[in-house]
Amino acid sequence: MTTKPTMALAELTEKGADADLLKQMIQFVAPRMMEMDAESLCAAAYGERTVDRQNSRNGYRERLWETRAGSVDLKIPKLRKGSYFPGFLEPRRTAEKALAAVVQEAYVQGVSTRSVDELVRAMGMSGISKSQVSRLCGEIDERVHAFLDRPIEGDWPYLWIDATYVKVREAGRIVSVAVIIATAVNTDGMREVLGMGIGASEAEPFWTGFLRQLTRRGLRGVKLVISDAHVGLRAAVAKVLKASWQRCRVHFLRNALAHAGKGQRQMVLAMINTAFTQENSEAAIAQWRNVSQQLHGRFPKLAALMDEAECDVLAFMSFPKAHRTQIYSTNPLERLNAEIKRRTDVVGIFPNEPAITRLVGALLLEQNDEWQLQRRYMQLEGLQTLTDNQPARLSAVVR
């Protein structure tokens, strides 16, 4: 009988796993599953000399496998004695779903031999050993960690940081932890995922450690950090990056409007938004203070919040006008966080933090690859003025 986690993972692949991600998972896992099956039939690994060997390989035959995620080229192992045909290619089997579930199970459960083995047997294969599961998960982890720990090169003027929360088992208890995602735009206008962290988002030591990890990998040239008002983050940004901090305008407005009655919210929103339409920082600050003064009589708490958040919410106005619509909030991260939330909600409760890193890291890797194939995220206008490494200008006159 199919276990609940397995059913949930199967539903995940049914409901709309990204086609490119699914195809990549199939291309990654299918060859390894066939090699493990051939290894089991031969009673020996490829090239291994042993008295227990019962058969040996004899090259490969190629076959094109049509899946709902696209065409996949397979190299099916051939044996000297008898024949081998992978069970997942049998007609009327929803094989790619099972393969995706194998990978998802490995992502989520870590090295869970029993659950992965059940899925493999359900595919008509002979099952795999604990060492083979460990090898498969190790290859997945190696790829994810190589991406998350890669060197960061160049200047990155704008850095977005946001958190989404997941549940994990810790010392026999179920706790909620923050999964922190950092993305940035470089001076070429290209966007990348720079890193992720897991911890308590309200703790300043966590933020400091996370930012220092990014700087050790090479992060430099940050001028503005855009995030929600996480306690401790602002201090960590000033300490580690010495950059300006932009409080997410969208989140601030939600908090601000909570201090106004439902009938007055549209009017209050329109008044505050007039500050954001100004041409420069000085005019925006003047209009912000004017609006705060007008609201002070009817909404004193709202006015006090505006006075307190003035510098943080208007920080983006000091940067090039061409970039302002992209740097005033964490909206550029919302779609990515929504996809992460959709996948992690299916899991429910993670068994440990490495399982979170495995799943979320794989999603971030896929998203980053997709961004590299797209056009520039941000206009080049103004980006070069934000770099600390200005190109040297040589005089045109020879003396």
196-254 tens-digit pLDDT: 999 877 788 899 999 999 999 999 999 999 999 887 888 899 899 989 999 999 999 99
Cα distances (Å, whole numbers) of residue 330 to 183, 229, 246, 265, 364 = 10, 11, 9, 22, 17
Q: Is the pLDDT of residue 49 over 90?
A: no
Type of residue at 236: A
Q: Which pLDDT tens digit goes with each residue over 332-349?
A: 888 888 888 887 776 677
Listed by start position, the domains of the chain span: 4-148, 153-244+348-383, 249-328
183, 193, 179, 180: which is closest to 159 by C-alpha? 183
Q: What is the 3-state secondary structure (H, E, C) of 70-99?
A: EEEEEEEEEECCCCCCCHHHCCCCCHHHHH
* Token pair belonging to 228: 């929600």
Point out the least confidently predicted range of 17-21, 54-58, 163-167, 280-284: 17-21
Q: What is the pLDDT of residue 63?
A: 82
* C-alpha span between 74 and 92 (Å, rounded): 18
C-alpha count within 13 angstroms, C-beta hemisphere, residue 294: 12
Q: 3-state SS of the chain?
A: CCCHHHHHHHHHHHHHCCHHHHHHHHHHHHHHHHHHHHHHHHCCCCCCCCCCCCCCEEEEEEEEEEECCEEEEEEEEEECCCCCCCHHHCCCCCHHHHHHHHHHHHHHHCCCHHHHHHHHHHCCCCCCCHHHHHHHHHHHHHHHHHHHCCCCCCCCCEEEEEEEEEEEEECCEEEEEEEEEEEEECCCCCEEEEEEEEECCCCHHHHHHHHHHHHHCCCCCCCEEEECCCCCHHHHHHHHHCCEEEECHHHHHHHHHCCCCCCCHHHHHHHHHHHHCCCCHHHHHHHHHHHHHHHCCCCHHHHHHHHHHHHHHCHHHHCCHHHHHHHCCCHHHHHHHHHHHHHHHHHCEECCHHHHHHHHHHHHHHHHHHHHCCCCCCCCCCCHHHCCCCCCCCCCCCC
pLDDT value at 136 more than 80: no
User: Sorting pLDDT into bands at 50, 70 and 90, what band is 10?
Assistant: very low
- Residue 123 pLDDT exceeds 60: no
| Residue 55 identity (one-letter amino acid) | N
What phi-psi label fits residue 110: left (phi over 0), alpha (psi between -120 and 50 degrees) or beta?
left
Checking if the pLDDT of 256 tops 70, the result is yes
Pair type for strands 224-227 and 158-170: parallel
Mean pLDDT of the chain, nearest integer = 80
